């Protein structure tokens, strides 16, 4: 199949590379000439494990191409996937579809009858209908419009694409359904389940999936608060409920709240869709409120661990990206934590294995260190913000010896309390009972 991917961001580049690895001929189009030049030189615009090798292999085989020329990119395409950003609009939380509709208007003049236009971007219910109207307005005839939402986890995107839990296709005609089935045929050989639905149903499925996962995260964070109050351990509680097949263990890890490119904007967009439809989504609305409050609570927790005052204190942060195995800083919990601590006079030093370049633009007053041990040097407190694997194996005795204070605030429950206390650290976990050492 001849496929065009509009957008070389996280979704577009991963999807395009994986489609080409299936044997399809893929052209990725982006207006950002710096991105395209970088990709021609083998430089990835995002950090995703294994992506550079996958891109190189398929470029070398002649199946993956990059261009800024939209007309050339879509000229012979049988399917055009739209994978541009749909950020939340400031103020109202609506998904901003400016880039989606702009791409549709521009490609309308160049696609041929029989082409299938597919939204890969996360878009509100009814976006496909609007795309149909735009294509008709622009004079593009006999074009099918379908929805094919992505369900990729940053840090494991390639595996998720090639071994999906499900493939959701929202199609309104048999031609679009047939084309998408042919595109995904290599996955059918592995018996990946495919769900064929109406276009609006597929659009809503993506939002419903992310909202449900956000609910699980906020739920376990609320349970963690209760565990601290009654001297219980949230990790055992999570395991106890997660072993129930009706619940499952995933997304039951207490922490500083969800962030990233999907959950924050998608929960808001779902609320806006519901409001427009006149339907109250109380659970999702409360989830958003709980998560927003959670970030402020993390600042309060660190301040409390330092005896109620952080003015002039040196606070080391381990991890800045919203999750491990990515450099994505969008809505990362580290941002409000840094802002809150700096506002109260704290001096922040931080280390992240891959997110430093992005973080430096967002955190101009933070001192960046080259290793976890450099962060610990002279710190009054050490705070685990992102659970990178390399943090799990650090020598806590060495950390404790380097620190000026002895406070370890573990926002991801990476460390064992007994081991931390054995190193002489005052351990503050998440929902793991009351701290056994006094603050400070």
Question: What is the reported pLDDT for 191?
Answer: 83
Q: How many CB atoms lie within 10 A of CB 186?
A: 16
Q: Evaluate if residue 437 carries a pLDDT over 60.
A: no
Q: Read off the pLDDT of residues 293-319 as tens digits, 9 standing for 90 and up.
A: 999 999 999 999 999 999 999 999 999
> Which pLDDT band holds residue 42 (cuts at 50, 70, 90)?
very high
Q: Read off the pLDDT of residues 229-284 as tens digits, 9 standing for 90 and up.
A: 999 999 999 999 999 999 999 999 999 999 998 999 999 999 999 999 999 999 99
- Average pLDDT, integer, range 217-228: 96
Q: Evaluate if residue 440 carries a pLDDT over 50.
A: no
- Average pLDDT, integer, range 196-215: 97
> Which pLDDT band holds residue 190 (cuts at 50, 70, 90)?
confident
CB 350 within 8 A of CB 314: no
> Which pLDDT band holds residue 433 (cuts at 50, 70, 90)?
confident
CB 329 within 8 A of CB 358: yes
Q: How many CB atoms lie within 10 A of CB 57?
A: 14
Q: Evaluate if residue 434 carries a pLDDT over 90.
A: no
Question: What is the reported pLDDT for 81?
Answer: 98
3-state SS assignment for residue 274? helix
Distance CA 12, CA 14 (A): 6
Q: Evaluate if residue 44 carries a pLDDT over 90.
A: yes
Helices (H), 41-170: 51-60, 70-74, 98-108, 127-137, 157-162
Distance CA 277, CA 128 (A): 17
Share of the chain above pLDDT 90, in %: 93
The dihedral region occupied by 7, where left means phi > 0, alpha psi between -120 and 50, and beta the remainder, is left
Share of the chain above pLDDT 70, in %: 98
Q: Evaluate if residue 439 carries a pLDDT over 60.
A: no
The verdict on whether 262 is a catalytic residue reads yes
Q: Binding-site residues, please? A: 30, 35, 86, 122, 151-154, 206, 251-255, 259, 265, 323, 330
CB 207 within 8 A of CB 410: no
Q: Read off the pLDDT of residues 103-160 as tens digits, 9 standing for 90 and up.
A: 999 999 999 999 999 999 999 999 999 999 999 999 999 999 999 999 999 999 999 9
Domains delineated in the chain: 2-197 (3.40.50.720), 207-288 (1.10.1040.10), 295-428 (3.40.50.720)
Distance CA 200, CA 18 (A): 26
> Which pLDDT band holds residue 435 (cuts at 50, 70, 90)?
low
Distance CA 207, CA 116 (A): 23
Q: Read off the pLDDT of residues 350-398 as tens digits, 9 standing for 90 and up.
A: 999 999 999 999 999 999 999 999 999 999 999 999 999 999 999 999 9
Distance CA 283, CA 215 (A): 8
Average pLDDT, the chain: 95
- Looking at 28, 132, 227, 262, which residue is catalytic? 262
């Amino acid at each position: 199949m001849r496929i065009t991917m509009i957008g070389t961001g996280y979704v577009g580049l991963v999807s395009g590379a994986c489609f080409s690895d299936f044997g399809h001929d893929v052209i990725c189009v982006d207006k950002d000439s710096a991105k395209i030049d970088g990709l021609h030189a083998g430089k990835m615009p995002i950090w995703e494990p294994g992506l550079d090798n996958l891109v190189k292999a398929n470029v070398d085989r002649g199946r993956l191409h990059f261009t800024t020329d939209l007309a050339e990119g879509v000229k012979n395409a049988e399917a055009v996937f739209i994978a541009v950003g749909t950020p939340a609009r400031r103020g109202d939380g609506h998904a901003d579809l400016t880039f989606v509709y702009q791409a549709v208007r521009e490609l309308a003049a160049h696609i041929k009858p029989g082409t299938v236009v597919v939204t890969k971007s996360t878009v509100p219910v009814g976006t496909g209908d609007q795309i149909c109207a735009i294509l008709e307005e622009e004079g593009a005839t006999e074009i099918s419009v379908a929805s094919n939402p992505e369900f990729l986890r940053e840090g494991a995107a390639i595996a998720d694409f090639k071994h999906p839990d499900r493939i959701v296709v929202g199609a309104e005609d048999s031609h679009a359904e047939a084309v998408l089935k042919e595109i995904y045929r290599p996955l059918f050989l592995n018996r990946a389940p495919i769900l064929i639905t109406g276009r609006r149903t597929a659009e809503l499925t993506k939002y419903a999936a992310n909202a449900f996962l956000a609910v699980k995260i906020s739920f376990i964070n609320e349970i963690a608060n209760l565990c601290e109050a009654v001297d219980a351990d949230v990790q055992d509680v999570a395991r106890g409920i997660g072993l129930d097949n009706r619940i499952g263990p995933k997304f039951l890890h207490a922490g500083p709240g969800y962030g990233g490119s999907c959950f924050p904007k998608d929960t808001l967009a779902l609320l806006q869709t519901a409001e427009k439809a006149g339907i109250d989504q109380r659970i999702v609305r409360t989830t958003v409120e709980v998560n927003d409050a959670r970030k402020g609570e993390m600042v309060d927790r660190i301040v409390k661990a330092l005896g109620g005052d952080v003015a002039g204190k040196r606070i080391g942060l381990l991890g800045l990206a919203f999750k491990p195995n990515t450099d994505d800083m969008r809505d990362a919990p580290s941002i409000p934590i840094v802002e809150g601590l700096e506002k109260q006079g704290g001096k922040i030093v931080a280390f992240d294995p891959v997110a430093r370049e992005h973080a430096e633009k967002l955190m101009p007053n933070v001192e960046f260190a080259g290793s976890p041990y450099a962060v610990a040097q002279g710190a009054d407190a050490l705070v685990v913000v992102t659970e990178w694997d390399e943090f799990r194996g650090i020598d806590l005795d060495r950390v404790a010896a380097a620190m000026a204070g002895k406070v370890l605030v573990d926002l991801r429950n990476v460390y064992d309390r007994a081991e931390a206390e054995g190193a002489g650290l005052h351990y503050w976990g998440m929902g793991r009972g009351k701290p056994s050492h006094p603050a400070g």
